């Protein structure tokens, strides 16, 4: 995904990149650029201790492991430092109907056979009276149901994939972790508040930043990680913002930490509420909670009361408010400025995509690394690919709201009745008629992800693929039974998530050395 950059040796080469804003987005960007660009390009990061960072969630998706591999991060050390736990998927409660609960599990669901994805064989069996759930064929789902976890690449002596996972951690400590482990001298941190953005008269390119202390910070290229303010991309360059609130209606969030709950669930929980939803994320030292809601349908005080009434432990602070507009910048890259993180757009944290969108944005930028002229064709291609990614993530999130049968509150009635983007409407109808799901190019969410949300929220296909009928009935039953047996047997050998975290030594004080049993547990999770 990432590669070390070998710059073109010419007078137009970019020699200095300036990142505006710290936090998770800023330090992820700085760490990746420092690793990729090496000493061929100076990197400076401007941040102010006066400006707080936004923390709306502390969960990730499996692609974050690519960051670790590229940066050479020791996972045990990361988990210790960030008070982290492991994540097998997202449990969604009450989204389709009151009382519903299903898991969007990472990893494989069953096995493909011949030309067909697994779910067509499962649909055939179900049509003949088989009552086994789709999730009976997912090792991640089985492990989550019993709060089990181990790092397991593959199920031994079988074609089944193993555990696919991500992290749940303290996002502020994650940014600190990256900052402290960047090679000495690779990134110049500049403390200061930007009060003016200076642009070149002839083309409007950003030339330098003036800080409150009078210092000027010049650069060849600027990366805006300044959060919702979009200090460069919007404040200076007036790029414009595309509002998606008519599809993703929540516009506010409240976040609060509570005392640690036991067991530490190896999955993120999302609970549909009257006018939005609530998250719950288990960490080693506390539980992260938040309420994402629409201010059109509930007051801030009512939203806070709902959040506090549904905590598992005692609150450790007052709820912290956040206001946002779901959507994206009309251009992520404008002139010699690239927006990342909240400066580029906001998709709300229902599927924990925020850090990934930073990561993929940096990877895309490195793959198209420009010279100081920023070729307009290159910029246009970057923006095209970014829009493709954001729109497909957007559609996946909208599905969680649109695919509801709830009519108990005005909020859910509006969600169920709303018109959705044509791209999503087409995908839903294709699945409803044929059971087919097609992943477009390299969009983020897999066919298995779409399948679980569609079925979990009661969008049922009228048919399965006719080729599934080619398999003889005894062979079909054996095929399905063998997968269930492998899933059950493997899951029974996994340790509990709490035990795994303790056995990895990550319950010690952050930053202290631990006696890791990673290799042993990966080979023999029992």
Strand locations in 127-169, DSSP E? Answer: 166-168
Q: Which of 113, 137, 140 is nearest to 464 (CA)?
A: 113
Kind and range of the H or E run holding 339: strand 337-339
Kind and range of the H or E run holding 486: helix 473-492
3-class DSSP state of 135: helix
Tell me if 279 sits within 8 A of 310, measured CB to CB: no
Cα distance between the two ends of the chain: 33
414: its two tokens:
């509006």
475 is catalytic: no
In angstroms, the CA 82 to CA 120 distance is 41
Phi and psi at residue 392, to the nearest 5°:
-75, -35
Among the listed residues 87, 198, 402, 475, the single catalytic one is 87
Phi and psi at residue 440, to the nearest 5°:
-90, 120
CA atoms within 13 A on the CB side of 396: 28
Strand locations in 375-420, DSSP E? Answer: none
Kind and range of the H or E run holding 428: helix 422-434
In angstroms, the CA 276 to CA 297 distance is 9
CA atoms within 13 A on the CB side of 248: 26
Taking each helix axis from N to C terminus, what angle separates 23-37 and 171-181, rounded to the nearest 10 degrees? Answer: 30
In angstroms, the CA 458 to CA 441 distance is 26
Using DSSP bridges, classify how beta strands 188-191 and 42-47 pair: parallel, antiparallel or unpaired: parallel
In angstroms, the CA 148 to CA 144 distance is 6
Q: How far is CA 477 from CA 33, 125, 141, 435, in A?
A: 51, 8, 21, 20
Tell me if 12 sits within 8 A of 342, measured CB to CB: no
Q: Which of 339, 341, 283 is nearest to 313 (CA)?
A: 283
Which residue shows structure tokens 């509006």?
Answer: 414
Q: Which one-letter DSSP state was computed for residue 133?
A: -
In angstroms, the CA 137 to CA 158 distance is 14
Catalytic residues: 87
């Amino acid at each position: 995904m990432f590669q070390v950059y070998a710059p073109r040796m010419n007078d137009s080469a970019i020699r200095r990149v300036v990142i505006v804003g710290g936090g998770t987005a800023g330090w992820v960007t700085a760490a990746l650029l420092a690793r990729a660009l090496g000493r061929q390009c100076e990197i400076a990061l401007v941040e102010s201790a006066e400006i707080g960072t936004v923390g709306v969630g502390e969960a990730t998706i499996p692609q974050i492991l690519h960051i670790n591999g590229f940066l050479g991060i020791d996972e045990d050390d990361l988990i210790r430092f960030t008070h982290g736990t492991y994540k097998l998927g997202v449990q969604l409660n009450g989204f389709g109907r009151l009382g519903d609960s299903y898991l969007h599990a990472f990893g494989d669901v069953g096995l493909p056979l011949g030309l067909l994805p697994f779910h067509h064989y499962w649909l055939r069996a179900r049509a003949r009276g088989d009552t086994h759930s789709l999730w009976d064929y997912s090792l991640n789902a089985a492990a989550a149901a019993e709060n089990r976890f181990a790092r397991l690449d593959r199920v031994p002596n079988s074609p089944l994939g193993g555990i696919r996972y991500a992290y749940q951690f303290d996002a502020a400590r994650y940014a600190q972790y990256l900052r402290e482990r960047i090679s000495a001298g690779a990134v110049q941190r500049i403390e200061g508040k930007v009060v003016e953005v200076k642009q070149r008269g002839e083309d409007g390119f950003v030339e330098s930043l003036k800080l409150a202390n009078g210092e000027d910070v010049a650069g060849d290229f600027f990366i805006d990680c300044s959060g919702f303010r979009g200090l460069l991309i919007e404040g200076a360059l007036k790029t414009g913002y595309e509002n998606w609130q008519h599809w993703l209606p929540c516009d506010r969030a409240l976040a609060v930490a509570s005392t640690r709950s036991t067991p530490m669930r190896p999955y993120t929980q999302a609970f549909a509420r009257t006018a939005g939803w609530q998250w719950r994320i288990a960490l080693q030292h506390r539980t992260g909670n938040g309420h994402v809601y629409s201010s059109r349908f509930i007051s801030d005080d009512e939203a806070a009361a709902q959040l506090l009434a549904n905590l598992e432990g005692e609150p450790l602070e007052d709820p912290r408010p956040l206001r946002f507009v779901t959507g994206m910048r009309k251009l992520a890259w404008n002139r010699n400025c690239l927006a990342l993180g909240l400066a580029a757009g906001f998709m709300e944290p229902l599927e924990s995509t925020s850090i990934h969108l930073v990561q993929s944005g940096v990877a895309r930028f490195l793959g198209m690394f420009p010279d100081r002229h920023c070729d307009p064709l290159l910029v246009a291609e970057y923006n095209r690919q970014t829009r493709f990614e954001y729109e497909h993530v957007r559609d996946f999130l909208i599905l969680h709201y649109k695919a509801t049968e709830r009519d108990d509150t005005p909020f859910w009635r509006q969600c169920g009745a709303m018109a959705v983007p044509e791209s999503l409407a087409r995908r839903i109808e294709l699945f409803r008629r044929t059971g087919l799901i097609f992943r477009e190019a390299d969009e983020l969410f897999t066919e298995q992800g779409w399948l679980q949300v569609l079925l979990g929220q009661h969008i049922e296909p009228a048919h399965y693929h006719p080729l599934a009928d080619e398999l003889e009935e005894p062979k079909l039953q054996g095929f399905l039974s063998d997968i269930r047996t492998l899933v059950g047997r493997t899951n029974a050998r996994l340790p509990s998530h709490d035990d795994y975290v303790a056995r990895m030594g990550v319950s010690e004080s952050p930053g202290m050395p631990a006696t890791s049993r990673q290799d042993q547990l990966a080979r023999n999770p029992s």
